[in-house]
Structure 1
């Protein structure tokens, strides 16, 4: 029951897949189901479609854009409301003082027993730490049990050790089946205040939030180009694209095989298919694909992006090493080859003055790239022999 309630709570928190407001959410008016064989359903559908598009304004047009600061080659969001919006609606960015979800403030309030935390929710970092401690304790007790059982089989066990063995046989199975569930409340009654904590609290309230949300370049451009929900330091879309390219390759004009462009093409491709895309640097790849997001399940696929230019970017040893690491963490390894246009065609679209809408310019540029996926499987002789 607790697991079910926790899942329902996560579904409520992360209900939106993207940080956009739909008409059906704001006005409670959704398009009805359409049955091709029923003329009345067609009529009702058209009436509702005209009603939504004429009587109501587009909700997203009235939403204030999220302010993203571009400082020292870093894209950052400091407003707490914007941080929560971008993380809970698509899992964009990473907390600079957290593993992924920006929970430094909540963890600090829990640690210092401050008054500001109303719900006092246990963060994912605390859940992981608790589970690791329990697993470590289980392995220690299991090791003791195995040593005593070995002595018992050899007939070299004392009376005190026999009693200890019997107790461990009752305790170890319970430790193994123990499952820490995230809940509410702080059981830590011994609050340790460090010297640096004194600058953060006043009257038992946290007055400073040292954490901000750091966004990848591909995430920022997706939020600007595909969704138009952010404003980046007063940069136009073309200026933002150029700055993102400069982060990877310093050149007067973007190159057709710039790493940022190739990464963004793949990122946009999978985001448009409904996947949650995160950085894959910790597994030695470019991107990770989640079916829903980090709080729900582990990533299912590891993506390695390769420009399809006929050159060998990775040798056999590097590919085998990546496949071994990815296979060890029980994920599927996907090689994504990106076909790109000629530099002349790219420069023509980039420098053209015919575009009044910058979005159309980048639509044409990115549309000239093609994505091909290959599922890579590591051959294991012990599993495939006759």
Structure 2
């Protein structure tokens, strides 16, 4: 009896310990939430470059694609439609200038149907059926009313003289009415043409120009609004420095080298170095990195991409210099508020600490060759609730 009791107690203890350990592991490694439409979306390559594991080395060199971007102050714009599609689908780089995320403005304008939920599709089918029923009912009522009117008209025709009707019809000329409609349509087209009056604006005085104006009529072509792909400075530098597939030019058309690009981005954005190190670090781990301002953080991390999974982590970047925390470190109040917001959105807070190298010369910061000297540390922040952890 003692042996059976001892063995049962030991088995129960092992089972309870295993369940608690499994619970701890599941809490530490939470699986990201999958989106509903992820099955209907095609998955592309993780990067917009050929991968040697999928093709041989010579074929990868022949298929190598170089993209072109224009530096626009706080972002880099890609204008070519094919390059936009590759960068957006393969790695989810950038954001559409006229869309919330993926550049879909031109697709919607060209009539490509969007992705909708099944509930929306069923609802729209019901609307179409009800619209058809109402239109058929209105048509039937109009036909009945028209038949009644025809009967009344026939009765009146019997009581009137036919010569009078012929005299009335003789005053109406259908050819004149048709020609009048054509003239009116032509005048409307003339009003809506693309011609405009242009006054020569030279360097003379305003009175001299107005006294003898040189007026000409020129055609003004209609310019269609085209969507661009806007990448952050971190994304643009990653494509140029890490992948080597993006060429960036300034507004004057001058090509920017990696050193020029580094200095320009560092001057434009004061925290560019820390942000890029964190961006490069998480991209190298396989995460899809996006700006996290809407959740109160610096970055947000997706598994495989925004169309497939919800964001898993909200990243807070902290710069650590000379083994001391920066002056802009987070207080407990800020951490508590941020954690509440992130928990309500079903995500977690990840603190990314960027350690600067000791005895760093300022001249070394003018080149991207200084990047390997930095160190990165991750800290996962979670709110501990005693009532939920009693079994542990």
TM-score (norm 1): 0.59
Is 1:371 aligned with 2:392?
no
Question: Which fold has the larger relative contact order, with Cα–Cα distance below 8 Å and residues 6 or more apart in sequence?
Answer: 2
Residue in 2 that maps onto 1:22? 51
Q: What secondary structure, in the 3-state scheme, does the structure 2 residue paired with 1:97 have? A: coil
Contact 2:300 2:313 in 1 (8 A): yes
Task: Choose 1 or 2 for highest CA Rg.
Answer: 2
How far apart are residue 278 of structure 1 and its match? 0.7
2:5 is matched with which residue?
Answer: none
| Displacement of 1:5 | 11
The verdict on how the C-alpha distance between 1:350 and 1:379 changes in structure 2, with shifts beyond 3 A counting, is closer
> Does 2:113 match 1:121?
yes
Q: Deviations over 1:179-220 (max 9, x none)?
A: 4479x99x9999xxxxxxx99xxxxxx972432111100000
- Residues 74, 4 of structure 1: CA spacing in aligned structure 2 closer, same or farther, 3 A cutoff? closer
Q: How does 1:1-386 map to 2 (within 5 A)?
A: 7=38, 9-10=40-41, 13-23=42-52, 25=54, 29=55, 52-53=56-57, 56=58, 58-59=60-61, 63-107=64-108, 109=109, 116-117=110-111, 120-123=112-115, 127=116, 179-180=119-120, 208-233=224-249, 234-249=255-270, 259-309=271-321, 310-311=324-325, 312=327, 313-342=329-358, 344-345=360-361, 347=363, 349-350=364-365, 362=368, 364-380=369-385, 383-384=388-389
Q: Provide the C-alpha distance between the structure 2 equivalents of 1:378 and 1:237, rounded to a whole number of angstroms.
A: 42
Give the CA deviation at 1:90. Answer: 0.4
Q: Over aligned residues, Cα RMSD in angstroms? A: 3.4
* CA displacement, residues 8-53 of structure 1 (integer Å, 9 cap, x when unaligned): 542xx3321000013454xxx5xxxxxxxxxxxxxxxxxxxxxx45
Query: Structure 2 CA distance, aligned partners of 1:100 and 1:375?
Result: 27
Aligned residues: 258
Task: Pick closer, same or farther for the CA change 1:321–1:5 going to 2, 3 Å.
Answer: closer
Please tell me whether the aligned partners of residues 340 and 369 of structure 1 are also in contact (alpha carbons under 8 angstroms).
yes
The answer on whether the counterparts of 2:314 and 2:349 sit within 8 Å (CA) in structure 1 is yes
SS in 2 for 1:344: coil
Secondary structure of the residue that 1:267 maps to in structure 2?
A: helix
TM-score, length basis structure 2? 0.58
What displacement does 1:7 show?
4.4
2-structure distance, mates of 1:245, 1:96: 23
Cα deviation 1:238-296 (Å, max 9, x = unaligned): 111111111223xxxxxxxxx11111111111111111111111000011111110000
Structure 2 runs not aligned, ≥5 long? 1-33, 132-191, 194-221, 250-254
CA deviations 1:204-237 (Å, max 9, x no partner) are xx97243211110000000000001111001000
Structure 1 unmatched runs, 5+: 30-51, 110-115, 132-177, 191-197, 200-205, 250-258, 352-360
Q: Cα distance 1:374–1:330, how it changes in 2: closer, same or farther (>3 A)?
A: same
Match of 1:46 in 2: none
Q: Distance in 2 between matches of 1:297 and 1:23?
A: 27
For 2:128 and 2:335, how far apart are their aligned partners in 1? Answer: 46
Q: Which deviates the most, 66-75 or 217-226?
A: 66-75
Cα distance in 1, alignment partners of residues 287 and 264 from structure 2: 26
Say whether the 8 Å CA contact 1:327–1:378 is kept in structure 2. Answer: no
